[in-house]
Amino acid sequence: MLLGCAGTPPSPAPPAEKQTETREPDAAISPAPAPAKSPGRTFSPPTELDRLLDAHPLALPTVKPATAPAPDTTVAKPPDGEKPAKEGTETVFQIQVDALSDIDAAQARKAVLEAKLEVRIDMIFDAPYYKLRFGSFATRREAEDKLVELAGKNLQGFIVRQ
């Protein structure tokens, strides 16, 4: 037998009575109003912003996909020390001068570089970057010579084999 704190046996608990609680709704709490049924989409006349946007359509940039150039029938003979190209293809070297993830920044940089270098810059999208490349050099040596010329104009880049 278990004893309580005072050394006396614990008294039995009185039988629990089942009590059911009935609650009446408060007069101060009212049910939430039902949402108004909308008849569907409603038409509103165009705003000033709509007219402004319609007046100036957005021009999408032209971006080349990142694919190898089409094979050319002429094959350039590589100088000593370079691997010969496979039959029916031409090895082309380009110089990549920048890679940006934002298309607007890439277009602005392209315009600056075209003005500074006076060459056409290709913008190639290779997810997630827009790569700015130029040139079509048959040998790596030609591309390296162009890199030296770029260094004189305070520009950096690297050679990419296509």
Summarize pLDDT for 48-106 with one digit per residue, the tens: 877 777 766 666 666 666 666 555 554 455 555 555 545 555 779 999 999 999 999 99
Q: Which amino acid is at 64?
A: K
Q: How confident is the model at residue 146 (pLDDT cuts 50, 70, 90)?
A: very high
What pLDDT score does 162 carry?
Answer: 81
Angle 19-24-30 from CA coordinates, rounded to 5°: 145
What pLDDT score does 49 carry?
Answer: 78
Q: How confident is the model at residue 109 (pLDDT cuts 50, 70, 90)?
A: very high
What pLDDT score does 89 carry?
Answer: 57
- Quote the CA–CA distance of 114 and 103 in Å, as a whole number: 16
Token pair in block for residue 93: 């070297």
| Cα 81 to Cα 19, 61, 76, 87, 141, distances in angstroms | 98, 40, 14, 18, 11
Q: pTM value?
A: 0.47
Q: How confident is the model at residue 45 (pLDDT cuts 50, 70, 90)?
A: confident
Q: How confident is the model at residue 120 (pLDDT cuts 50, 70, 90)?
A: very high
